[in-house]
Structure 1
Amino acid sequence: MTLDTADDTFPTIIQGGMGVGVSGWRLARAVSAAGQLGVVSGVALDLVLARRLQQGDPDGDLRRALDAFPFPEVARRVRERYYVPGGIAPGKPYRPVPKLGLRPHRGRTELTVTANFAEVFLAREGHDGLVGVNYLEKIQLATPAAVYGAMLAGVDYVLMGAGIPSEIPGLLDALAVHRPAEISVTVAGAESGQRHTVGIDPATLHGPLPPPPLRRPRLLAIVSSDILATYLARKPETRPDGFVVEGPVAGGHSAPPRGRLQLDEEGEPLYGPRDRVDTAKVAALGLPFWLAGGHADRQALTRALEVGATGVQVGTAFALCRESGLEEKLRRRLLDAAVTGTLPVRNDPDASPAGFPFKVASLPGTVADPDVYTARPRLCDLGHLRVPYLKTDGEVGYRCPAEPVDTYVRKGRPESDTVGRRCLCNGLVSAIGLGQHRSDGYVEPPLLTLGQDLGFLTDLPNDHTAADVITHLLGGLPGPG
């Protein structure tokens, strides 16, 4: 089922949906206004909205977005709960937001829906270009409410990786006509056939009279193998509208190598011939696809087009541009180190609680620094990467290998799972200037991620813009379509 989807033209460049708020609405708007696909990161937007409202929303952008939300009473409750005129005092802890969970929670749903609406709404202001939103399939507990909020704002594309988004086409179909919708949730220890779900009933937000149908966005599945692409494309109910085929040098999470995990002399995963994507097989599926990971130059784009790709997805070049959501001092430090060749970016097999290899950019004073990591008190107070598991009493609990070791072990898992794990939730939020100030005076340090291919920087102006990246990539090549 497709309701009023976008036209048949496709962007040549997709801007990656990076981190928590790195691909914010300002960056996505700049890329979209330049005629390509700007993408906001949909990860932890509930937290981002709540903390920015507590900072006082000095430019009024978020309050303007909330004023445009189609269900005013919902927006009013969110604003009354989190907005602090003038902002909270320096060093004061942020008010917490409800953790993700299987049980329905009105406040959490309303915050998630409005946060995703606001980010997409602001990204779409002032131009008629395309806007997408990027989600992690692994964060299943947030997906239905997050997607509905983005669709209410008119999002054109939903991109999803870090898992198998086989149920998302049906979710988009249902939410386009404001029907109740749910997806399956993976619960560790659950028996085969024992299904757990999380969903949203739009009627709890809009009341008894549903609004007009929404435009159903296109779904792009982010995959790292032609096998997964073929699996998803095999039947209508799982088939996306296209693929982003991502290689292992891309920033953030990467798929682990196929087969037994082997590490090189630097302790990074070794990828081999089995991990190379057969682009001919992807092209044969008849759906548009984009190549990602190490494609931030014109030659790489040309090669992608030659093998049948529609274009490329580029992340790191945009993450380092002026419109990036990174905290400005951190962005400049990253850029300076990258330009001078003194910025190691390690594909760490242990850093992420999600269990996927994760690119960590090493800057002193960040969580990549062993001393900073060791000094940080272990805690899991945000919980977006918590794993639901079945307890001995049959109830569902939640655990994270980055939480306190004793707590994690009490939940039935070995201590070895916790070695080297970083709290991505707090670290990535701190990287955009929203780190928690704790009551004992401790301030959460940032964690930074970039792709491992930084060679493109020699061809870009110093302190480049999003438009500079697009010009660098396209040159004399044709635009969308």
Structure 2
Amino acid sequence: MTIAERPTGLPVLIQGGMGVGVSGWRLARAVARTGQLGVVSGVALDVVLARRLQQGDPSGDLRRALEAFPFPAVSEGILERYFVAGGIAPGVPYRPVPRLGLRPHRGRTELIAAANFVEVFLAREGHDGPVGVNYLEKIQMATPAAAYGAMLAGVDYVLMGAGIPSEIPRLLDALAAHRPAQVSVTVAGAAADQRHTADLDPADLYGASRPAPLKRTSLLAIVSSDILATYLARKPETRPDGFILEGPSAGGHSAPPRGRMRLDDAGEPLYGPRDHVDTGKVAALGLPFWLAGGYGRPGGLARALRIGAAGVQVGTAFALCRESGLDDKLRRGLLDAAADGTLVVRNDPHASPAGFPFKVAEVPGTLADPDVYAARPRLCDLGHLRTPYLRDGGSVGYRCPAEPVDTYTRKGRPADDTTGRRCLCNGLVGAIGLGQHRPDGYEEPPLLTLGRDLAFLDDLPDDYTAADVVGRLLHGTEHA
């Protein structure tokens, strides 16, 4: 298949949704302007919006986007609570946002919905290219409000991985019609017949006057198995609009190896033939698919097109470009380390509280540094990766293996679960320059994640742009 022979209306390139704010609206907009799919990360946008407003929103972009949010009372409440003209003083802690939970919380719902609207609105501004938003299925309690906010802004695609997004097609159907919607939430220890849900009634946001129906966004399920793709495609109510087939070399979270977890001599998961997706079986499902994980190198797109893919998803090349949301000093440090051959990216089986292997860039002064990790006080004050569990007596509690060890063990789990766990929530927020700082001078250290394939850097200029990445990937594929 050549690019010219592909189905029309589909992107050839998907820019990956990365980290917390790494694939922010500036990056997604830059990619979408080239006609390819620009993607914002939808993870922890409530924290990102609240902290950027507390920094004073110097460009005014956030306030301009909030003015466009269709429910003005919500925007006004958020600005009153979080906006600080001129920004908070150095050393003043950021005001906290409500943590995710199963109990209804109006302020939390409003902030999540508005934050997703803002990010997608700004990414879509000034062009007619496609924009998507990436979510983790693991963060179930935020999904209904987050997806609704993104759809209010006209998002074209929802991308979802880190789990089985079988309920998302029905969620998107309901939200497009402004109907009450919900997704199931996994609660550890709950019986099979005990269902817990995260719910959203859009009327709680729009009030008495129902808006016009929204565009029903397309769903791309991020999977690492043809078995899972077949499972999702078997019924209309679970069938996505396409698949992103992600290999183990991709950045961020990756699926664990099938079967018993085995580690190599470096302590990283071993993947074998069972962990490779049978693209022929996926193609037979009749849905478009894109390949991810190592396809940013020369010839990757042409190779994907030859086996019938609609294109590729690329993350790391965009994570290091000029429009990336990474703190610029950290970004340039990663580029320098990659250039001199000293950058190491490790697939750590223990780093993430989510329980999935997670790619960690081993950079001194970050949470990957053993000394920094040992010195950081253990706490879980953002809590996006907390696991709900059933307490004795039937109420729901929350725990995270990155929280203090004694706190975690009091919740019925072994101390071994906490070994090596990094606080991804705080670390990833710190990577975009929004780490918490406290009156005693303590500042949250960042955590950096990248894919392992950095060969693309050989063909890009210094301090390259997102358009440079798109141009390099598309070059020479017209007849591939």
TM-score by length of 1: 0.98
Alignment correspondent of 1:88: 88
Cα shift at 1:8: 5.3
Alignment correspondent of 1:157: 157
Question: Is contact 2:402-2:423 (8 Å) kept?
Answer: yes
**SS of aligned partner of 1:331:** helix
Question: Is contact 1:180-1:201 (8 Å) kept?
Answer: yes
**SS of aligned partner of 1:67:** helix
Query: How many residue pairs align between the two structures?
Result: 473
Structure 1 residue 397 corresponds to structure 2 residue 397: yes
Greater mean alpha carbon deviation, residues 375-384 or residues 294-303: 294-303
**SS of aligned partner of 1:333:** helix
* Aligned equivalents of 1:101, 1:166: Cα separation in 2: 21
**SS of aligned partner of 1:172:** helix
* Aligned equivalents of 1:129, 1:445: Cα separation in 2: 36
**SS of aligned partner of 2:412:** coil
Structure 1 residue 363 corresponds to structure 2 residue 368: no
1:60-95 per-residue CA deviation (whole Å, 9 max, x = no partner) reads 000000000001111110111100000000111000
Cα shift at 1:438: 1.7
1:193-342 paired onto structure 2 within 5 Å:
193-342=193-342
* Aligned equivalents of 1:29, 1:139: Cα separation in 2: 25
Alignment correspondent of 2:3: none
Question: Is contact 1:297-1:472 (8 Å) kept?
Answer: no
- Consecutive unaligned residues of structure 2, counting only runs of 5 or more, are 1-6
* Aligned equivalents of 2:478, 2:153: Cα separation in 1: 29
1:339-367 per-residue CA deviation (whole Å, 9 max, x = no partner) reads 21110000000000000000000111000
* Aligned equivalents of 1:152, 1:8: Cα separation in 2: 25
* Aligned equivalents of 1:478, 1:110: Cα separation in 2: 45
Structure 1 residue 60 corresponds to structure 2 residue 60: yes
Question: Is contact 2:24-2:40 (8 Å) kept?
Answer: yes
* Aligned equivalents of 1:140, 1:30: Cα separation in 2: 29
Structure 1 residue 119 corresponds to structure 2 residue 119: yes
Structure 1 residue 140 corresponds to structure 2 residue 140: yes
Cα shift at 1:476: 3.3
Question: Is contact 2:178-2:210 (8 Å) kept?
Answer: yes
Letter in 2 for 1:21: G
* Aligned equivalents of 1:307, 1:458: Cα separation in 2: 26
* Aligned equivalents of 1:467, 1:58: Cα separation in 2: 26
**SS of aligned partner of 1:78:** helix
* Aligned equivalents of 1:100, 1:213: Cα separation in 2: 28
* Aligned equivalents of 1:438, 1:427: Cα separation in 2: 15
**SS of aligned partner of 1:10:** coil
Q: Which runs of 4+ in 1 moved over 2 A?
A: 476-479
Question: Is contact 2:385-2:400 (8 Å) kept?
Answer: yes
* Aligned equivalents of 2:157, 2:29: Cα separation in 1: 14
Cα shift at 1:298: 3.9
**SS of aligned partner of 1:287:** coil
* Aligned equivalents of 1:118, 1:453: Cα separation in 2: 32
Cα shift at 1:477: 2.7
Percent of aligned pairs with the same amino acid: 78
Alignment correspondent of 2:33: 33
**SS of aligned partner of 1:74:** helix
Letter in 1 for 2:139: I
Letter in 2 for 1:122: L
Question: Is contact 1:346-1:359 (8 Å) kept?
Answer: yes
Letter in 2 for 1:49: L
Question: Is contact 1:298-1:474 (8 Å) kept?
Answer: no
- Consecutive unaligned residues of structure 1, counting only runs of 5 or more, are 1-6
Q: RMSD between aligned alpha carbons?
A: 0.9
* Aligned equivalents of 1:363, 1:100: Cα separation in 2: 30
